[in-house]
Structure 1
Amino acid sequence: MRWAPDVSLPVGLQRALCLALLLVWVLLLQACSAVRLAYSQVPQLAYWQLDRYLDLSDAQTDRVRSELDLLHQWHRSTMLPQHARLLQQVQQQLPATVTPDQACRIYDEVRIQLDAVWAQAEQQLLWLAPQLSPTQIRTLEVQQAQSNADWKKQWLDASPERMREQRYKQLLSRAETFYGTLDEPAREALRGYVARSAFDPQRSYAERLRRQKDLVGVLQSIAQDRSDHQRALGLLRGYRDRFNASPDLAYQRYAQRLVEEGCDAFARMHNAMTPAQRMQAVQSLKGYERDFWVLAAQ
């Protein structure tokens, strides 16, 4: 089973924290000049997400901001050079055709780096879990419910045809920002991936609910003995393990299939690109690599 994201920290914080690593990939969708500005805003974005989900107290806010600044400094000095070196490796592969296995190896490397971010964040923010009040845990549940309503509206309430069209348009937009306008062979490869995909909104939603319920239960259990930090750490790591490898073996197989499908789809689409489009992708990555080296040196 390939690595899955770790959310042993409260839901919502994970999204903001992973911005630091996902700048490598998500900001491929934006102008290169946006990278440095966006990176400087990561601690603030992380704080906003965490406060939104937990409604932090004044005392918690002060320490959270301090810890997020330290996490950001660590990421700048430790992880940005690793991200830049990974981009160098990818640049060397993109001018040629790629295999699904090569694509999955890149995916695995990204996840390994993300795991390092989670591990560091866990060390610096573990103190917060025992401090959460019952009211804050209820606030988390409310925010989860609101997020679930948005997810259902987008994926569960849509017809299968509309859902597939939504996925196609999203993926097309991302690919064209990276490669430029896609020719028909590449578009067909993308449409074929969406049409054949095993993505099942019902199954994904059920696992989403399981993870959320699991997290709330862990936080409630930690609250029963707030002084035992080793116990809290063990509970959070147990949750992380269950997130990375769901207790539902059928879901594990489903998740692995989605990863393999994605690797195959990327390879098919990339191989359908013209040499000029592949070089455009290389130049995009080169720009991010330069930005990461500059940021790491600051």
Structure 2
Amino acid sequence: MKFPLDLGVETRSRAAGAGAGRCTRIIGGLAVLALAGLLQSCSLMKIAYNQAPELVYWQLDRHFDFTDAQSLQVKADLEKLQDWHRQTQLPGYIEALQKLQKQMPSDMDAAAACAIYTDVRGKLVLLSRQAEPPMATLVGSLQAGQLKNLERRFAKGNEEYREDFLEASPKAQRDKRYKEAVKRAEMLYGRLEKKQLAVIERRIDASHFDAPRSYAEKIRRQQDALHTLHPLVAGQATPEKTQAAVRGLFERTLNSPDAAYRDYMEKLTQDACATLAELHNSTTPAQRHKAVETLHRYEQDFRTLNAQKS
């Protein structure tokens, strides 16, 4: 999940989701799209959610280049995953949005902002668990050539990341992050004032975001994904072993085995929590009212989506 303001913005290949993280993001696409209420217009959010299986399928196909048989299986599994998500998870999103609407008129501290992140992360973990069996089925049907295609996609994403965050000038990197942060915040609060833009600038300058550190984790996850998948393709392992391996891969993506990286991500999370709280506390009553209206529209959209039958 992205907060309305995210100081670690990476617009092409995000640090928190590369390599094996791609798999988690793709599998978690339904949750990401469903939680996009803080990022997108209501109409776009509804369209995106209803089209999520197709969008997620397209992303997976780009990485693996499916056979006809795999395409049919993956599409069917994604439809089932969305049905489960619609019926069992959307009620929790509705409840969360109701709670947020009640919080918006008052000031917010960093702990309250972090509670939002914790709740969303928990929902993503649940979705990942639900996705493990179909993902294991897919992995067992992959061929060695499809992993080569995955490697090529990794290489392309790495090149884009380097262009955006390692080779660009510090000013260009900062400007990109600033524009993205402002865009996200204005989707919730409406047009920002000078004092609020100053909050974003100051917080970006104080951020712990470290592009080389994020890139190193990106490479680790990619290597982990390839190392994990190679012994499993073409039905080389039992379904039980494959599913256990997929679960381990997801777990290492959500919780890096690198203690230093976990500490780094905790700092980024605390940055985001503190920044969201400071930005929110600088907003006017009119902007907070706008946020309540926006969240209420999302709530109504989720109610509509939840009522739809497969």
TM-score with structure 1 length normalisation? 0.93
Question: How far apart are the structure 1 equivalents of 2:17 and 2:186?
Answer: 30
Alpha-carbon separation, structure 1, partners of 2:170 and 2:66 = 40
- The answer on 1:145 being equivalent to 2:155 is yes
Structure 1 distance, partners of 2:135, 2:255, is: 23
What is the CA–CA distance in structure 1 between the aligned matches of 2:190 and 2:30, rounded to whole Å? 25
- Number of the residue aligned with 1:29: 39
Amino acid at match of 1:239: L
Q: Distance in 1 between matches of 2:121 and 2:49?
A: 19
Match of 1:266 among 276, 287, 291: 276
What residue is the counterpart of 1:252 in the other structure? 262
Give the residue type in structure 2 aligned to 1:128.
L
Which structure 2 residue ranges, 5 or more long, are not aligned?
A: 1-14
Q: 1:121 to 1:9 in 2, by over 3 A?
A: farther
Is 1:44 aligned with 2:57? no
2:227 aligns to what? 217
Query: Post-superposition shift, 1:255?
Result: 0.8
Match of 1:206 in 2: 216
Query: How far, CA to CA, are the matches of 2:218 and 2:244 in structure 1?
Result: 22
1:130 aligned partner: 140
State the 1:158 CA deviation: 1.1
Which of 154, 169, 173 matches 2:164?
A: 154
- Partner residue, 2:124: 114
Mapped pair 1:189 → 2:189: no
- SS state of the match for residue 164, structure 2? helix
Shift of 1:13: 4.7
Q: Does 1:169 align with 2:179?
A: yes
When the two chains are superposed, the root-mean-square deviation of aligned CA atoms in Å is 2.0
1:279 equivalenced with 2:289 (yes/no): yes
Residue 55 of structure 1: aligned partner: 65
Shift of 1:118: 1.1
**Distance in structure 1 (CA, Å) of the matches to 2:268 and 2:252:** 18
Q: Alpha-carbon deviations, 1:32-80, whole Å to 9, x = none?
A: 2222222111010011111110011111111111111111111111111
Is contact 1:97–1:270 with CA below 8 Å preserved after alignment?
Answer: yes
Say which is worse superposed, 100-109 or 172-181, in terms of deviation.
172-181
| TM-superposition CA deviations, 1:235-280 (whole Å, max 9, x none) | 2222222222222211111111000110000000010000110110
Q: Which amino acid aligns with 1:135?
A: G
What CA deviation, in whole Å up to 9, does each residue of 1:92-139 have, x standing for no partner?
111100000000011100111111111111123321111111100110
- TM-fit CA distance, 1:218: 0.2
- How many residues are matched? 294
Q: Structure 1 residues 38 and 86, CA, compared in 2 at 3 Å: closer, same or farther?
A: same
2:135/2:246 contact within 8 Å kept: no
Q: Residues 255 and 29 of structure 1: is their aligned pair in 2 closer, same or farther, counting only changes over 3 Å?
A: closer
- Residue 244 of structure 1 aligns to which amino acid in structure 2? L
Residues 25 and 260 (structure 1), Cα distance of their counterparts in 2 relative to 1, 3 Å cut: same
Could you tell me which residue of structure 2 aligns to residue 88 of structure 1?
98
In structure 2, relative to structure 1, the CA distance for the partners of 1:30 and 1:266 (3 Å cut) is: same
With the length of structure 2 as denominator, give the TM-score of the two structures. 0.89
* CA deviation profile, 1:206-227 (whole Å, cap 9, x unmatched): 1000000100000012238624
